[in-house]
Amino acid sequence: MSEDLEYAKAPHGSSRLSLQADCENCFGLCCVALPFAASADFAIDKHAGQPCQNLQADFRCGVHNSLRQMGFRGCTVYDCFGAGQKVSQVTYGGLDWRKSPKSAKEMFEVFPIMWQLHELLWYLSEALTLRPARPIRDELSQALDKTERLTNLDPDSILKLDVAAHRADVNKLLLRTSELVRADFLRSQRGSAGKRKTYSRGADLIGAKLRGADLRAANLRGAYLIAADLRGADLRGADLIGADFRDADIRGADLTESIFLTQPQINAAKGDASTKLPPSLSHPMHWSSPEA
């Protein structure tokens, strides 16, 4: 299966590196454009378009090294898939909202749309690396190219996009990719074709006791895994797109060959050095702290 996961490199325009947040080249858009409410994840209320009280003049976070201790755990979970720097440096050509206040409201409305497009680019780029998805490679490439073109539109055109319709079209391809990859994974697991529990999309697994569970090639799309015990679980080959991993315990779990897993999902979970991740993802720094 490891060879299957290295089938091909995605086109340069949507390399996985370019789909990772680069805060140094962003105008602090996630700290301004997005709203949040006082909760376990955020210490205060903030409206959309209102700069966070911790945002400095240079667009850096003034409490970045102590966010979790100060009640801003949600900030350590979030990732924009590179949408922040794309809007800042490409869509608006490096002109920030402080120097151009007339464009501020528009920029803050463009950012969430760009975030959705970049998330789709992440999934499509991954799908193109999966050998079992060869039968639909051309369709995946076309969808990626189209999504990339949409990210390069002018602000007014981006605001007029029917993103929901585009997501629906892309999701059909991602679902076909999932079916091909999971079926291929099971075929490769000789002698392990015993019964496996199946789940429907959006399965309610909140607080589920799944320690050591065999979840290979499981369909966990959109599953609610909040606070689930997944210690030592085998999630290789599982489709994890949209699964909610908040406070899920994945210490010792094997997610190395899972598909459509993202850094925000990992950031929201509880893991440690024994958690095995796909090579494109990394262990969050807060996993090593007692507070995590």
Q: Tens digits of per-residue pLDDT, 197-230?
A: 778 788 999 999 999 999 999 999 999 999 999 9
CATH superfamily of 196-292: E3 ubiquitin-protein ligase SopA (2.160.20.80)
Dist. CA 180–CA 172, nearest whole Å: 13
Instruction: Delimit the CATH 2.160.20.80 region(s) of the chain.
Output: 196-292
pLDDT band at 2 (very low <50, low <70, confident <90, very high): very low
Radius of gyration (C-alpha) of the chain in whole angstroms: 20
Q: SS3 for 237?
A: coil
CA distance 279 to 292: 22
Calpha distance 28→7 (Å, rounded): 36
Which of 226, 187, 219, 235 lies closest to 204 in space, CA to CA? Answer: 226
* Buried/exposed code over 160-176 (b: 16+ C-beta within 10 A; e: otherwise): eeebeebeeebeebbeb
Arithmetic mean of pLDDT, 66-89? 92
- Residue 1 pLDDT greater than 60, yes or no: no
- What's the pTM? 0.90
**pLDDT score of 170 more than 50:** yes
